[in-house]
Amino acid sequence: MFIGAYTALVTPFTRDGKLDLPRLRDLVEFQIEEGIDGLVPVGTTGESPTLDYDEHIRVVAETVAAARGRVPVIAGTGGNSTAEALELTRRAKEVGAQATLQVTPYYNRPTQTGLIKHFSTIADIGLPVILYNVPGRTACEIAVETVATLARHPRIVAIKEASGNVDRVSRILDGCAIEVLSGDDALTLPMMAVGAVGVISVASNVVPRAVGDMVRAARSGRWGDAQTLHRRLYPLFRDLFVETNPQPVKAALAMMGRIEESYRLPLCEMAPDHRERLASTLRSLGLGKIHT
């Protein structure tokens, strides 16, 4: 149902820390013009933990409006509390999101039974659900057996796999009726080699066409072309995670003149040596004048 390259959108802020909706609309247009398959606002890359409830829904609504039905919008509406995730998901559905990305509840670390109840309750709303397994941020993994149980729900259609474990993709596809999307740019190609159908990407904020071309090449069996693109993009995949995401990707977009470099604490500007390393990588990709 959701195949291809999807961008985990940053949330642009003005210099004084408010939502920068004109820049958000510009980013959406840039992504669509460059051939991205879909958009994922207010996930981890969209700094969802620092957006209040109204801002969260405003970003989803603005993304849906700017996309104008040209690509699907998968709203990040997960939460630590099932009640909060339910309310965000209902509101996202009301403003036109086509699906929801549901991160594993963090900090409270539910049991696998708790995860089944949490995700199933949200899926009952009726929006297609993409599970988001990212144990490095949540300290809680969705077990493969739990994925298999959840996949029986007609609205749980895919999983974003950001465990850093390609073997898990094989294990999921061996026993679960569900699509897998890579959650790690650097592992997109190896995950697709064993059956994943695409990526929810950070790097495609910066190079949407190149990431899309890599995924399309792999999907059509042009593995040589996909490998060439992977090798070209790998330094960017690496350097966008030299510090906590989304600090590097927002810095990169600011260097390209697409957004203001503005974060909400506790996220902050990159260290100078990391910034120069990232700028050098951007220049090597021929992305135009890079302002540091």
- Report how far residue 17's alpha carbon sits from residue 13's, in angstroms, rounded to the nearest whole number: 5
117, 207, 272 from 242: Cα distances, Å: 36, 18, 12
Catalytic residue from among 53, 107, 117, 132: 132
Residue 53 bears catalytic tag: no
- Report how far residue 220's alpha carbon sits from residue 157's, in angstroms, rounded to the nearest whole number: 22
* Omega cis (within 30) before 72: no
Catalytic residue from among 160, 234, 250, 289: 160
176, 182, 187, 192 alpha-carbon torsion, rounded to 10°: 60
25, 29, 235 from 77: Cα distances, Å: 20, 22, 31
Check: CB of residue 2 under 8 Å from CB of residue 99.
Answer: yes
Residue 263 bears catalytic tag: no
Q: DSSP labels for 29-62? A: HHHHHTT-SEEE-SSTTTTGGGS-HHHHHHHHHH
Active-site annotation, residues: 132, 160
